Amino acid sequence: MKKILISMVAVAALSTAGFATVNSQTGCGLGSQIIHDDSSAVMLALQATTNGTSGNQTFGITSGTSGCKKARFVMNERAAEFVASNMDQLSREIAIGQGESVETLAELLNIENKAAFAVALQANYKAIYTNEKADMANVLDNVVTIAG
């Protein structure tokens, strides 16, 4: 029983390290917020276990709370649907560096400087539309990469 418990704690500690912003060993979340002592393996394991088992780390990463850093871009269905429905129009507007569809896409992706976004897309048109049959997912991924 002790071996199983130790194994679970070790897995929890290692699996959350990739999400770290508060503590580079245990990640962000409630455990890292309330347990500040990270001088021993026991305390780190307690932080990681609290972060991972209570579900607060996932919430923190998604919402940008509990010491977690929120991602700049959040892919959403609205952006994906918009790109899928407006592929031809977006292609034309990105090629000329302006247009209502480009502005709408910038809004859906929470881009603050829409003019710079349009210029960057125009300058990287061939990187966005890598072939004549580019699909929505690739176009959106390429746009986010360029804007990021």
Q: Per the structure, how many domains does the chain have?
A: 2
Confidence category of residue 104, pLDDT binned at 50, 70, 90 = very high
Q: Is residue 22 part of a domain?
A: yes
Question: Quick check: is 52 in a domain?
Answer: yes
Q: How confident is the model at residue 16 (pLDDT cuts 50, 70, 90)?
A: very low
Rounded to an integer, the average pLDDT of 35-42 is 77
How confident is the model at residue 126, as a pLDDT?
A: 96
- For 134, the 3-state DSSP assignment is coil
- Section 90-106 average pLDDT: 95
Domain contains 71: no
Task: Report the pLDDT averaged over residues 78-101.
Answer: 92
**Cα(first)–Cα(last) distance of the chain, in Å?**
47
Give the mean model confidence (pLDDT) for residues 113-133: 94
In terms of residue numbers, what domain contains 51? 2-63
Classify residue 85 as left (phi > 0), alpha (psi -120 to 50) or beta.
alpha
Do residues 33 and 54 touch, judged by C-beta distance below 8 A? no
Task: Please name the helix (run of DSSP H) or strand (run of DSSP E) that holds residue 108, with its range, or none.
Answer: helix 100-108
Higher pLDDT, 15 or 31: 31
